[in-house]
Amino acid sequence: MSPRANGADGHPHGGGGRQDRGRSGDGGNGRPRAEKGRSRAGRGPAGRDGREARRREHPAADPAREAARDTLRAVRERDAYANLVLPRLLRERRISGRDAAFATELTYGACRALGLLDAVIEACAGRALDRIDPPVLDALRLGVYQLLRTRVAPHAAVSTTVDMVVADNGRGAGGFANAVLRRASEKTDQQWIAQLTPPPESAPVAASAFRHTHPTWIAQAFADALGPAAGELDAALEADNVSPRVHLVARPGAISAEELALVTGGEEGRYSPYAVYLDGGDPGELDPVREGLAAVQDEGSQLVARAVTVAPLDGPDGGRWLDLCAGPGGKAALMGAVAEIDGARVDAVEPLEHRADLVRRTTGDLPVTVHTADGRDSGLTPGYDRILVDAPCTGLGALRRRPEARWRKGPQDVTDLTRLQRELLGAAAALVRPGGVIVYATCSPHLAETAGIAADAQRRHGLTPLDARTLLPDMPGLGDGPFVQLWPHRHGTDGMFLAALRK
């Protein structure tokens, strides 16, 4: 349930009602209260020990906001994933119902909107973010998010945040937080965006990036990949701000999509013949998933795995199929299920032992053999009919799944990955038989990881591109070929790229 439905403050625990709003953020000497509080004797110990001592004195009064704060801290301090940390905290602390929904909205919303929140905080604090105590900054991000992007009453957003900061960081920091939040509350979300967005005339991509809370380099990568359709940039960026529907794959030979939709109450997918969309609930609880007849898998990934199995070969299919980057095994399982029907066998390569184990578990009794090896030097015998290279990539096509991911990646990640991608595709070119097909895929639209790598392999290894659009069911918006880029805003799938290359 959304916090909109919950009373005046929009949240059952939100009505703090403090009366000491409006004090200046600095203590009269230009130094903010946060710093004064931390440096003055008699305020209690600063840092983690001090925070924990204060927390013992002030037990959790607002479990949803505290779970959100602790998740933001884990993301910042240990590079944790918000969508793994938060559900665990909610379970451990027995937070459910409205509180869990509110904590989820706050956490994921604040993670996604970080660029905007930080710009507002900086403008209101009058100083750089690195001069704000990080735990105070976490609380401010949550407070500003509530002010700008929820219907929590402003007085409740301010008072609950200030209470949390006082409990964790002392009264000085609370005064500073109060001043920043009071200033932030003077304008709406749209007014702040209008004030802080770079000028669209001179910096259109940076302006779109800011409006839809992405780093500019990612927005530029999307614009480059959209090419003549760059007018869709705003829609492409905004699609990352919406949590995706759950997609199930009906394992071929075990259950049809039609049956799966009937049993689960879901809706048959638009494109993949194996896809079923669910609107909510825990898919792990569904009988067909528990029994291994179906699994959670994005429809775009289903289409990539299916493309490997239907690509036209030159000469007969000898039934030797390979997944060169297999962990955790979603595509290997779909290829394995089709292989079982077609009388083929799949070799699945994954260098990380724990991920290779996941592939073993995912593929179960299907005709799939898992090899724990580096795909660049797998030791496998050449002569494969069909090879999938689902290469490690930046994941820029799946940002909607990881709320904090966009702020954690940088252009250097692309540079680091393209070498590995080139080498893996080179290894596949050596393993495929003449007339066989390699499908090269990434969950990223970044041209350096997608068309750049595929075009380079054509030149280096004498591969011929097939029109990848013909390997997909009838779908709109697939471009001019021969490569295909799927988009969340167009297709509702992750942003998968695929190229089909014949030797």
Ligand X SMILES: C[S@@+](CC[C@H](N)C(=O)[O-])C[C@H]1O[C@@H](n2cnc3c(N)ncnc32)[C@H](O)[C@@H]1O
Task: Return all residues near 494 (Cβ < 8 A) that are at least 6 apart.
Answer: 244, 298, 300, 301, 397, 398, 400, 401, 443, 486, 488
Q: Which contiguous run of DSSP H or E holds residue 434?
A: strand 432-442
Minimum distance from residue 393 beta carbon to ligand X (Å): 6
- Considering the rule CB under 6 A, would residue 327 count as an interface residue with ligand X? yes
105: annotated binding-site residue? Answer: no
Q: In this chain, which of 21, 151, 171, 376 binds ligand X, going by CB under 6 A?
A: 376
- Considering the rule CB under 6 A, would residue 331 count as an interface residue with ligand X? yes
Minimum distance from residue 249 beta carbon to ligand X (Å): 11
Task: Return all residues near 469 (Cβ < 8 A) that are at least 6 apart.
Answer: 475, 478, 479, 481, 482, 484
Which structure tokens are listed for 486? Answer: 């799927």
Q: Which is nearer to ligand X, 336 or 375 (CB)?
A: 375
Amino acid at residue number 311:
A
Minimum distance from residue 360 beta carbon to ligand X (Å): 13
Of 111, 124, 393, 443, which residue is the catalytic one? 443
Q: What CA–CA distance (Å, rounded) separates 273 from 255?
A: 11
Q: Are 411 and 445 within 8 A, CB to CB?
A: no
- Considering the rule CB under 6 A, would residue 171 count as an interface residue with ligand X? no
443 is catalytic: yes
C-alpha angle 121/401/484, rounded to 5°? Answer: 120
| CA-based nearest residue to 135, from 161, 112, 153 | 161
327: annotated binding-site residue? Answer: yes
Q: In this chain, which of 74, 260, 286, 349 binds ligand X, going by CB under 6 A?
A: 349
Q: Are 132 and 121 within 8 A, CB to CB?
A: yes
Minimum distance from residue 214 beta carbon to ligand X (Å): 21
| CA-based nearest residue to 499, from 460, 436, 462, 455 | 455
Minimum distance from residue 56 beta carbon to ligand X (Å): 42
Q: Which of residues 36-95 bind ligand X (CB under 6 A)?
A: none
| CA-based nearest residue to 339, from 361, 308, 362, 315 | 308
Q: What CA–CA distance (Å, rounded) separates 494 from 488?
A: 5
- Considering the rule CB under 6 A, would residue 392 count as an interface residue with ligand X? yes
Q: Which is nearer to ligand X, 257 or 427 (CB)?
A: 427
Q: In this chain, which of 137, 153, 221, 325 binds ligand X, going by CB under 6 A?
A: 325
Q: Which is nearer to ligand X, 234 or 374 (CB)?
A: 374
Q: Are 104 and 150 within 8 A, CB to CB?
A: no
HEC assignment per residue over 143-203: HHHHHHHCCCCHHHHHHHHHHHHHHHHCHHHHHHHHHHHHHHCCCCHHHHHHHHCCCCCCC
Minimum distance from residue 227 beta carbon to ligand X (Å): 24
Span near ligand X by CB under 6 A; candidates 96-104, 180-188, 286-294, 343-351: 343-351
326: annotated binding-site residue? Answer: yes
Which structure tokens are listed for 267? Answer: 């809706």
- Considering the rule CB under 6 A, would residue 348 count as an interface residue with ligand X? no
Binding mask 420-459 for ligand X (x = CB under 6 A): ----x-----------------------------------
Span near ligand X by CB under 6 A; candidates 261-269, 307-315, 325-333, 445-453: 325-333
Q: In this chain, which of 326, 398, 414, 425 binds ligand X, going by CB under 6 A?
A: 326
Minimum distance from residue 274 beta carbon to ligand X (Å): 14
Q: In this chain, which of 269, 375, 445, 492 binds ligand X, going by CB under 6 A?
A: 375
Q: What CA–CA distance (Å, rounded) separates 15 from 374?
A: 56
- Considering the rule CB under 6 A, would residue 224 count as an interface residue with ligand X? no
Q: What CA–CA distance (Å, rounded) separates 346 from 298?
A: 21
Minimum distance from residue 440 beta carbon to ligand X (Å): 12
- Considering the rule CB under 6 A, would residue 350 count as an interface residue with ligand X? yes
- Specify the residue for token string 């919950």: 6
390: annotated binding-site residue? Answer: yes
- Considering the rule CB under 6 A, would residue 154 count as an interface residue with ligand X? no
Amino acid at residue number 305:
A
- Considering the rule CB under 6 A, would residue 301 count as an interface residue with ligand X? yes
53: annotated binding-site residue? Answer: no
Which structure tokens are listed for 216? Answer: 């500019």
Q: Which contiguous run of DSSP H or E holds residue 250?
A: strand 246-250
Q: Which of residues 131-150 bind ligand X (CB under 6 A)?
A: none
244: annotated binding-site residue? Answer: no
Q: Are 441 and 390 within 8 A, CB to CB?
A: yes
Q: Which is nearer to ligand X, 317 or 323 (CB)?
A: 323
- Considering the rule CB under 6 A, would residue 374 count as an interface residue with ligand X? yes
- Known binding-site residues for S-adenosyl-L-methionine equal 325-331, 350, 374, 390
State the residues that interact with ligand X by CB under 6 A. Answer: 301, 324-331, 349-352, 355, 374-376, 390, 392, 424
- Residues known to be catalytic: 443
